[in-house]
């Protein structure tokens, strides 16, 4: 039971982290005032920011799961 709760907490933290990254990227880069042409022009910048943040997120998630698994052993 303890393992299930711990896994649920880590999964919820991962979801919150990824949702925060998406929200930050959208609000910071692709504001609602941009038209489609401007969004296409800024696509490289949007991708570079989002991709780098998702790489950092995946490293943090991997570390969390490593710590979680290490605690179980």
CA atoms of 28 and 66, how far apart (whole Å): 32
C-beta neighbour count of 38 within 10 angstroms: 12
CA atoms of 61 and 55, how far apart (whole Å): 10
SS3 state of residue 42: coil
Q: How far, CA to CA in Å, does 45 sit from each of 8, 26, 38, 42?
A: 34, 12, 11, 5
> Residue 32: what pLDDT?
66
CA neighbor of 20 nearest in space, from 44, 53, 51: 53
pTM: 0.54
Read off the pLDDT of residues 2-16 as tens digits, 9 standing for 90 and up.
777 777 787 788 788
């Amino acid at each position: 039971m303890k393992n299930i709760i711990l896994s649920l907490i880590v999964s919820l933290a991962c979801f919150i982290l990824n949702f925060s990254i998406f929200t930050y990227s959208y609000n910071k880069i692709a504001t609602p005032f941009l038209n489609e042409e401007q969004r296409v022009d800024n696509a490289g910048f949007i991708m570079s920011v989002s991709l780098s943040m998702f790489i950092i997120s995946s490293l943090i998630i991997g570390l969390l799961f490593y710590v979680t698994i290490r605690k179980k052993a």
